[in-house]
Copies of this chain bind each other. A is one copy, B any other.
Amino acid sequence: MDILRPQPIQPIPENAKRVFKGVIFDIYQWEQEMFDGTRTIFEGAKRADNVTIFAVLPDGKILLTEQEQPGKALFVGGTGGRVDEGEDALTAARRELLEESGYIAEDFVLWFSQNSLPKVDWTVYIFIAKGLKKVSEMSLDAGEKIKLLPVTLDELINMPTRKDIYFSEHEIILKLIEAKNSLEKKKELEELFKPLEK
């Protein structure tokens, strides 16, 4: 599977200068030519990409997580996390699923990816994982407290209005709301989240 990284809506030009390198954020500045020919300093941020995985259990339930992180309220979402430097998105998805749930998956499909913030170059990759096999216990780092939360597709579709939901990408919310309101869209999701046949 070749995964392309989507272009941000305001790409940082190649001649931009990195003026700050941090743990998560790098900041770039460049001289931007304006419509009247004058020049202004523009600024953009690059941020470590994220992966979110919706893993489908053999019984068809979707494996969500209830997570606590230091300094952040409890939230419900998929498994997932940050893509490490030099790591590709699929490798990160496999690693995060295993670390956070103890599962490996036969099949990973990219549902979609998105890079949609103004002035922040940040891609979130959303994967569907199928053919799950439990091979270990969770292996959480000191900044994670995670409880596994399997839900049905109907339960998932009804989640967008909940306040404790955090799916890292608003496009997911949009797709779930569409599926709630359109039988056709719901059937597409049923197909997408169908467990592997034996």
Contact = CB atoms under 8 A, between A and B. Distances in A.
Contacts of A43: 22-25
A61 B121 CA distance: 34
Contact of A22 (B27, B117, B178): B27
Interface stretch (A68-76, A87-95, A190-198): A68-76
Contacts of A34: 70, 141-143
What number of copies of this chain does the assembly contain? 2
Contacts of A29: 22-23
Interface size class of A (residues with CB under 8 A): 35 or more
12 contacts: A22-B43, A25-B25, A25-B43, A25-B119, A34-B141, A36-B142, A47-B119, A118-B166, A118-B168, A174-B174, A177-B178, A177-B181
| Top 5 A-B residue pairs of the complex, sorted by shortest distance between their CB atoms | A170-B170, A34-B142, A181-B181, A20-B20, A23-B43
Interface of A: 9-11, 13, 19-20, 22-25, 27, 29, 32-36, 38, 40-43, 45, 47, 68-73, 75, 117-120, 141-145, 160, 166, 168, 170, 173-174, 177-178, 180-182
